[in-house]
Amino acid sequence: MTVKDCGVVLVTTNSEEEAKNIARMLVSEKLAACVNIFPIHSIYRWQGEICEDGEWQLIIKTNLKLFPQLAERIKSLHSYQTPEIIALPLVDGSQSYIEWLQDSVIHS
């Protein structure tokens, strides 16, 4: 795996408990090397209305070749009808971190 295979996937949830559950499952199943979780305030459009809610943001570090499996697993665990599941590629990273990430996920 090279840095070009690595990225982060962003997911929001409506509770800290759900965020932690998703994170634990992804790391334990080696679909993610690490997941950071933090509270955020979201303003968004849903079904024609502007909504404003507290949410929890997950930043999932992974091999983007695993994205199809990762996305399906998140959908199976998530309570939202249309969860945010978006991938962002890494432009660069320290070699030691990339190697750690590679060793922490399923080899595709």
Residue 104 to residue 108: CA distance in whole angstroms? 12
88 residue type, one letter: L
pTM, full prediction: 0.94
- At 106, the amino acid letter reads I
Residue-level pLDDT at 1: 66
For residue 51, give every residue at least 6 positions away whose Cβ sits within 8 Å of its Cβ, in sequence order, or none: 42, 43, 44, 45
Please list the pLDDT of the chain residue by residue as tens digits (108 residues).
688 899 999 999 999 999 999 999 999 999 999 999 999 999 999 999 999 999 999 999 999 999 999 999 999 999 999 999 999 999 999 999 999 999 999 986
pLDDT on residue 108: 63
N- to C-terminal Cα separation, the chain: 9
The fold for domain 3-104 equals Alpha-Beta Plaits (3.30.70)
